[in-house]
Amino acid sequence: MAMIPYKVVLGLDRLPSYSGFSLVLADQSGIILKQEVASKEDVLELVRPHKVDAVAIDNIYELGSEQDIKSFMSYLYNADLIQITGSPIHGFKPLSVIGRELGITRGEKLFPLKSAEVCARAVFSGHGFIVKLFDPETRVTISRRRSFGPGGMSAGRFRRSVQGAILSLAKSIESALRTRGIDYDLSLKKGSHGVESASFIIYAPRNQLSGIIRPIRTSSVNVRITPLFSRSFDFAPIGAKAEQLHKRHLIIGVDPGMVSGLAVLDLNGNVVHLSSGRGISRGQITRIVASLGRALIFASDVRPPPSMVLKLSASHNAITYFPEQSLRTSEKLEIVEKLELEQKIEVADSHQRDALSAAFKAYSFYKNKLEQCASHVKELGVQVNLDDIKAQVIRGMSIKDAIASSKTPSPERPLRKKRKSSERELINVLESKLLNIQCERDSLSLKVKALEERIEELELELRLAKRKERVPAIPETYEMERRIGALLGEVAKLRADLESEKTKNLKILSEMASLASGNSLIFYKYPSLKEALKSSSEGGVLVKKAEPLNDELKKELKRSPPKFIIIQEGPPEVLMFELEIPVILLRELTFTDYSGFVIVEKSSFEHAMEASRQKLADLLREKKKKIKAIFEEYQLERMRELNKA
């Protein structure tokens, strides 16, 4: 049997009432947690703290529509979604039959909790198919209807008119897509007086664009809408995942445009793919990359990078590289000449040249680190996957830690003792959030601008209408005034949303700067002391609520006591007295609360820590006084009894 690439699996089954799910959390040694009723939010909250690798379900449509499934998967934190019962290509098998084959059931009808258990345990037996998502794609092309020809006196005017009309149509379609939150890529071919042609790749089905974009065929401009065939879901056996884990890591250079260039390098700097083509979509790039290995870096030759490069990086959980300054043509030619000579490749056009230059520039940026990885592995003489070590180092892990983690694979979860890599991971999360906020801010700005332009048009129409001799109380005037009022209200709301996003943006920037300078600390949140102790976290822990101390918990705390405990709820004095450990209330600190972790201002933590230690010392002093007083009272009582005798 192929190696199972999962350590922790969450099994799900929809309740008959459709009000929630039954869930079972399992690892390779057995069941960790069972819950008979849980909402979708409860499920998503379990994924991150338990480091879930896979979510298993007998039918993915129990999660809802295709859009619901995609939305659910976007919160899975790199976990795979697995359909246990089969796939349209490989065929299906009832869950009760799978349970009987695994010896979990006797083939009877399964209740939701048992179904969830079968789903979770089936993954460790190699049953199930990994679900891969692909967005539907539609191409919209705007082009001129007639060629300009040699022309005469009016040729220039006609050219300006056509190119201006194409640019106006492209802006109108782009505004409509942004307003409705539909994902797209836009490529423009610039002309001398505007835009010669425009091409949209829209990641939505054709029927979703009805009422937004329509085909146009005039004497000068042509708008074509072409659905591109692609599957919404693809299914791969779990065994294919194990093979995927051993695939090489890749650096991908992308030059988006009407004609796009794509260059793929491995971590030794070898060119493994070089191509260009008209209208290449993100979906096509994803399929090419998946056939070659795993994306580690997406690179651009310009600063700032195009939106397509940023979106590809986000969807592949990859690093985005772009130079400090956009590469000059002379620099690109030097890179291409060097690679053509060394690797005997042929660069066919400027698009391949730009993509290859971007990928090689990214490789050169990390080359020193990559060579150090190879040198360390050679010196130590260890048998490890060098490609994986290089990838971990590029993502921020030290070479020593990367080699150690590759040398000692374990079915158990790794102890969280690498504080720096943990903070690096959280900084990456914050950077990703910042990028999303910036995109959302730009989207809101465009919405505001589009609505303001529309208001100006309506106000002009209203003024023109008022100039005509009409009765004021006609229905058209009322309707126009109503629409203007509604649009003004929407503009005000969007402006407020924009200001709110700017505030969030600044706050995240401040948090990132504070983390980088060491002025802030990061603590993971645990629901209880018992869960915190299971994590084997070094230093202190943060818990939502301090539960009553039973004998087992006291014994565990005495065996491996944390340096301090931060609690959200509960009296700290009891814990201090019982455990003789400094306890801090979270409300006493200056902090920012995120889902799963808290960022605390270092100075406020140090002040609270000092106060807690002083309070603990006072409590211990008081305790000693009480014991002494009891002892002295006992001595006096004994003396009185002796005197009487």
- The CATH number assigned to the domain holding 181 equals 3.30.70.600
- Among 380, 410, 440, identify where a domain stops: 410
Q: What is the pLDDT of residues 170-199, one digit of tens each?
A: 888 988 888 888 888 888 888 776 788 888
Assigned domain for 103 exists: yes
* Mean pLDDT for the chain overall: 80
Of 188 and 443, more confident: 188
Beta carbons of 520 and 602 less than 8 angstroms apart: yes
With respect to residue 391, please indicate whether it lies within any of the assigned structural domains.
yes
Same domain, 464 and 545: no
Residue 265 lies inside a defined structural domain of this protein: yes
pLDDT of residue 151: 53
Write down which residue in 517, 540, 558 finishes a domain.
Answer: 517
199-230 pLDDT per residue, tens: 898 888 777 888 888 888 877 788 888 887 65
Per-residue pLDDT, averaged over 477-493, amounts to 76
Shared domain check, 144 and 120:
no
Asked whether residue 609 is assigned to any structural domain, the reply reads yes
Helix pair 282-292, 307-316: axis angle to 10 deg: 50
- The verdict on 434 and 557 lying in the same domain is no
492 and 554 both lie in a single domain = no
Establish if 275 belongs to a structural domain. Answer: yes
Choose the final residue of a domain: 201, 228, 255: 228
Beta pairing, strands 8-14 & 54-57: parallel
Q: CATH code at 32?
A: 3.30.420
Query: pLDDT digit string (tens) for 509-534?
Result: 766 766 666 788 888 888 877 787 77
**Residue-by-residue DSSP string for 517-545:** HT-EEEEEEESSHHHHHHTT-SS-EEEEE
Instruction: Tell me, yes or no, whether 196 lies in a domain.
Output: yes
Please check whether residues 280 and 338 belong to one and the same domain. yes
Angle formed by the axes of helices 551-559 and 572-579, nearest 10°: 70
Extract long-range pairs of 88-93: CB within 8 Å, 24+ residues apart.
Answer: 88/235, 89/235, 90/129, 90/235, 90/237
Burial category of 351 from C-beta neighbours within 10 Å (exposed 0-12, middle 13-18, buried 19 and up): buried
DSSP classification of residue 206:
G
Residues 525, 604: one domain? Answer: yes
Six token digits for residue 398: 């030290």
* Most confident segment among 364-368, 485-489, 519-523, 584-588: 364-368
53 and 179 part of one domain? no
Q: Are residues 354 and 485 in the same domain?
A: no
Paired residues of 409 in beta bridges: none
Q: How many domains does the chain have?
A: 5
- The helix/strand count (H/E) of the chain reads as 18, 25
Task: Please give the residue range of the domain that contains residue 56.
Answer: 8-133
Identify whether 398 is part of a domain: yes
120/116 Cα distance (integer angstroms):
6
pLDDT at 220: 78
Do residue 444 and residue 365 come from a single domain?
no
Is 399 found in the same domain as 324?
yes
One domain, residues 389 and 266: yes
Same domain for 143 and 91, yes or no, is no
- Main-chain phi, psi angles of 147, to 5 degrees: -75, 155
The answer as to whether 641 is a domain residue is no
- Over residues 568-576, the mean pLDDT reads 66
Query: What is the number of other CB atoms lying within 10 angstroms of the CB of residue 146?
Result: 11
Q: Is the pLDDT assigned to residue 245 strictly greater than 90? A: no
